[in-house]
Amino acid sequence: MLRIVVGNGPGSVLDSTVEQLAVSPAVEIVGVATTGRESIDALRSSAVDVFMFPVDWFNLARMIRSCIDGSAEPSYVVAAPAPSRVHVVRALQYGYDGVVAVDQHADAVSTHLAAVAAGDVSLYDHPSLASLDLEPGLLARELSYPTAVDADVADLIASGLTDADIAETLSLPLQTVRNRVEALLTSNELSHRTQLAILQIVSWKIPDFA
């Protein structure tokens, strides 16, 4: 039986999911926590396979994880009614183990959670990333920057700026920005700027709250 702790603040989108999972024969809900302190206590109280939490707990879950003994660490799974590509990329950035859509039957949710806990599925295989041609190991690579300004260009691409916006922000000619983007793609063997943006986002350091 899958043992889970759910992080679920007041009025959370996970309320109905918790109710459904509570009667699932495949799941034992060890605790439903509404705060970081409650989550830490629940995760420390007994062996847990999965800690599931909503998207607005991204930072809080990071703090919670820093307070848990690593030898007994559960899988950390972000839950949302319809997880977006941004949710998946942020989960990768934070080092979480999975993302689950909770706008589906509880059996499907529990099956996915069990697969994440067992290591049978990976965020790298998530359907929302399929169109990006992310070959195995791509997101584990570190970007190289041919010139000093390229790191700034990559940061701004990852922030969603267009070439024209980047040119204005960095006070560079538009053609120079286009040349730097092309150089970044070529030197890192990437197909398009979305791959570049995701790699840059994943490389951003998220602080530990230990």
Half-sphere exposure (CA, 13 Å, Cβ side) for 73?
16
Structure tokens at 71: 């030898």
Model pTM score: 0.72
Q: pLDDT grade, residue 5 (50/70/90)?
A: very high
The mean predicted confidence, pLDDT, of the chain is 87
What pLDDT sits at residue 209? 45
Question: What are 121-134's pLDDT values in tens digits?
Answer: 888 778 877 667 66
Half-sphere exposure (CA, 13 Å, Cβ side) for 120?
7
Question: What is the maximal distance between C-alpha atoms in the chain?
Answer: 62
Residue pair 93/78 in contact (Cβ under 8 Å)? The answer is no
Q: What is the mean pLDDT of residues 6-15?
A: 83
Phi, psi (deg, nearest 5) at residue 76: -100, 120
Structure tokens at 158: 């990852």
Q: Which domains does the chain have, with CATH numbers?
A: 2-132 (3.40.50.2300), 138-203 (1.10.10.10)
What's the distance, CA 152 to chain centroid?
23
